[in-house]
Amino acid sequence: GRAALALLGPAPGAPSCPHGPALLFVKTSQGKEEGRRFYACSACRDRKDCNFFQWEDEKVSETRLAAREDYNRNRQPSFTHRQNMDRYKNFVLLPLSKRRFCQECQQLLLPAEWEKHSDHQLLCDITTAQLKSPSQLLYPLENKKTNAQYLFADRSCQFLLNLLIDLGFRRVLSVGTPRLHEMIQSKASQGEEFSIKSLLLDIDFRYSQFYTEDEFCHYNMFNHHFFGGEAARETCRKFLNEENGERVIMVTDPPFGGLVEALASSFLKLMAMWKETEKEGHDNKEMPMFWIFPYFFESRILDFFPSFSMMDYQVDYDNHALYKHGKTGRRQSPVRIFTNLTPSMIVLPEEEGYRFCTICQRYVSSSNQHCEICNSCTSKDGRRWKHCVLCKRCVKPSWFHCNNCNCCTLQKHSCEKTDVGCFVCGKAGHKRSACPSLS
* Interface residue list for ligand SAH (CB under 6 A): 43, 147-152, 176-180, 202-204, 219-222, 253-255
Residue 160 sits in the site that holds Zn ion (CB under 5 A): no
Q: Which is nearer to ligand SAH, 251 or 377 (CB)?
A: 251
Picked from Zn ion, ligand SAH, none, the partner binding residue 298 (CB below 5 to 8 A depending on kind) is none
φ/ψ (deg, to 5) at 237:
-60, -45
3-state secondary structure of 5: strand
DSSP 3-state of 312: coil
- How far apart are CB 244 and ligand SAH at their closest, in Å? 27
Q: Residue 131 binds which entry of ligand SAH, Zn ion, none, with Cβ cut-offs from 5 to 8 Å by kind? A: none
Question: 50 CB contacts (<8 Å, ≥6 apart)?
Answer: 17, 18, 19, 41, 43, 44
Max Cα–Cα distance, the chain, nearest Å: 73
Site for Zn ion in 315-374 (CB under 5 A): 357, 359-360, 370-371, 373-374
Q: Does 424 bind Zn ion (CB under 5 A)?
A: no
Sheet of 3-10, strand order: 3-10, 23-29, 36-40, 53-55
- Residue 397 C-beta: closest distance to Zn ion, Å: 12
For Zn ion, the binding residue among 282, 355, 401, 427 (CB under 5 A) is 401
Which of 185/409 has CB closer to ligand SAH? 185
Q: For the chain, give me the number of helices (H) and strands (E)?
A: 9, 25
Nearest approach, Cβ of residue 25 and ligand SAH (Å): 16
Instruction: Yes or no: say if 148 and 140 are a contact pair by the CB < 8 Å rule.
Output: no
**With CB cut-offs between 5 and 8 Å by kind, which of Zn ion, ligand SAH, none does residue 179 bind?**
ligand SAH
In this structure, what are the phi and psi dihedrals at residue 9, rounded to the nearest 5 degrees? 105, -175
Beta strands in 255-304 (DSSP E): 289-294
17 is a contact residue toward Zn ion (CB under 5 A): yes
Radius of gyration of the chain (CA): 24
**By beta-carbon distance, which residue lies closest to ligand SAH?**
176
Contact 293, 323 (CB under 8 A): no
At 66, give phi and psi (nearest 5°).
-65, -40
Considering CB distances under 5 to 8 angstroms, the limit depending on partner class, which of ligand SAH, Zn ion, none binds residue 215? none
Beta strands in 298-340 (DSSP E): 309-310, 335-339
- Least distance from C-beta 33 to ligand SAH, angstroms? 33
41 binds, among Zn ion, ligand SAH, none (CB under 5 to 8 A by kind): Zn ion
Distance from C-alpha of 153 to C-alpha of 156, rounded to nearest angstrom: 5
Q: Which of residues 369-398 bind Zn ion (CB under 5 A)?
A: 370-371, 373-374, 377, 387-388, 390-391, 394
In the complex, what is the shortest distance from the CB of residue 385 to Zn ion, in angstroms, rounded to a whole number?
Answer: 7
8 A C-beta contact, residue 435 and residue 422: yes
Min separation Cβ 23 and Zn ion, Å? 10
Q: From the CB of 147, what's the least distance to ligand SAH, in Å?
A: 4
Pick the stretch among 86-94, 116-124, 340-348, 406-414 that binds Zn ion (CB under 5 A). 406-414
Among positions 92-131, residues that touch Zn ion (CB under 5 A) are none
Enter the DSSP assignment of 379.
-
Query: Contact 437/300 with Cβ under 8 angstroms?
Result: no
Shortest spacing between CB 413 and ligand SAH, in angstroms: 32
- What three-state secondary structure class fits 201? strand
Residues in a beta bridge with 21: 16
The residue among 80, 78, 20, 30 whose CA lies nearest residue 50 is 20
| Identity of the residue, 28 or 136, whose beta carbon is nearer to ligand SAH in the bound complex | 136
Written as one string, the DSSP assignment of 292-318 is EEEGGGHHHHHHH-TT-EE------BS
Residues of this chain, 34-53, that bind Zn ion according to CB under 5 A: 41, 50, 52
Quick check: 19 binds Zn ion (CB under 5 A)? Answer: yes
Q: How far is the CB of 294 from ligand SAH (least distance, A)?
A: 13
Cβ of residue 357: shortest distance to Zn ion, in angstroms?
A: 3
Looking at beta carbons only, is 301 or 394 nearer to ligand SAH?
301
Q: By C-beta, is 134 or 288 nearer to ligand SAH?
A: 134
Residue 319 vs 414, nearer CB to Zn ion: 414
* Cβ-Cβ contacts under 8 Å for 148 (sequence gap 6 or more): 141, 142, 255, 256, 257
Which of the listed partners (Zn ion, ligand SAH, none) does 202 bind, with a CB threshold of 5 to 8 Å by partner kind?
A: ligand SAH
Under the rule (CB under 5 A), what is the footprint of Zn ion? 17, 19, 41, 50, 52, 357, 359-360, 370-371, 373-374, 377, 387-388, 390-391, 394, 401, 408
